[in-house]
Amino acid sequence: MELRITIYGEPILRETGKTVTTFDESLKRLASDMIETMHEAEGIGLAAQQVNSALMLCVIDVSHLNDADLDYQIDGKRPPIDLIMPLAMANPEVTELPGDDLRAEEGCLSFPGVRGDVTRAERIEVKYQDLDGKPHRMIAAGWMARVIQHEVDHLNGVLFIDHMETRQKRMMDSKLKRLKRQSRDFLAQRSKA
């Protein structure tokens, strides 16, 4: 089932997700709905906060990216991308690994029409649980690392615009104000219903 994506200005986007403690059919259904929503919106990642659920759960699907941009290992192995995507991560914890920081343009499904340059760690380690609660350890670099960092930020109430330089953020001030008005109007309508 496709879910509604929350828009910048909705308070849940600033909430830290609750730890996932129950790995049941309800969690699997939420992850499946998030994957469907992400695909319908033509995104490559989606956090639970973006579908109005403050949980430590995100999904990613970077299987369409060039294989050269997908540097990763899961539990010490590199399975084919088609076997692991789309990927659901519960309770992910990111640690930056030694290496350069890379700057690249990002967008976000909760910020339609807004894009900007963000600097992130080139290499990361992420420890997470799958939808059965089994722990995993991934080493990722490049775009895989960037997408994971973006989604894990969401789980902690951090948005990609928080990483932008002040000057760049000021240039998109009118777009951000418009999104906040839209979210305020939506919340007002919802409270009347």
Report pLDDT for 188: 84
Structure tokens at 15: 């909430």
Distance, C-alpha 101 to centroid of its chain: 19
In the chain, % of residues over pLDDT 90: 81
Does the pLDDT at position 67 exceed 80?
no
The arithmetic mean of pLDDT across residues 77-105, rounded, is: 95
Report pLDDT for 95: 98
The arithmetic mean of pLDDT across residues 114-133, rounded, is: 97
- pLDDT bucket at 189, cuts 50 / 70 / 90: confident
Judge whether 144 and 40 are in contact, CB under 8 Å.
no
Judge whether 91 and 56 are in contact, CB under 8 Å.
yes
CB atoms near residue 115 (< 10 Å): 13
Domains of the chain: 11-192 (3.90.45.10)
Does the pLDDT at position 111 exceed 80?
yes
In the chain, % of residues over pLDDT 70: 99
Rounded distance, CA 23 to CA 54, Å? Answer: 16
Report pLDDT for 73: 96
Residue 70 vs residue 76, higher pLDDT: 76
- pLDDT bucket at 183, cuts 50 / 70 / 90: confident
- pLDDT bucket at 115, cuts 50 / 70 / 90: very high
Assign residue 168 a region: left if phi > 0, alpha if psi is -120 to 50, beta otherwise? alpha
Does the pLDDT at position 186 exceed 90?
no
Task: Please identify every residue annotated as catalytic.
Answer: 151
The angle formed by the CA atoms of residues 13, 16 and 19, to the nearest 5 degrees, is: 130
The arithmetic mean of pLDDT across residues 65-83, rounded, is: 89
CB neighbour list of residue 116: distance below 8 Å, 6 or more residues apart: 105, 106, 160, 161, 164, 168, 169, 172
- Residue 46 burial (CB < 10 Å; 0-12/13-18/19+)? buried
Residue 66 vs residue 172, higher pLDDT: 172
Express each pLDDT in 160-176 by its tens digit.
999 999 898 888 889 99
Report pLDDT for 191: 77
Report pLDDT for 101: 94
CB neighbour list of residue 141: distance below 8 Å, 6 or more residues apart: 71, 72, 99, 122, 123, 124
Output phi, psi for 126, to 5 deg.
Answer: -130, 125
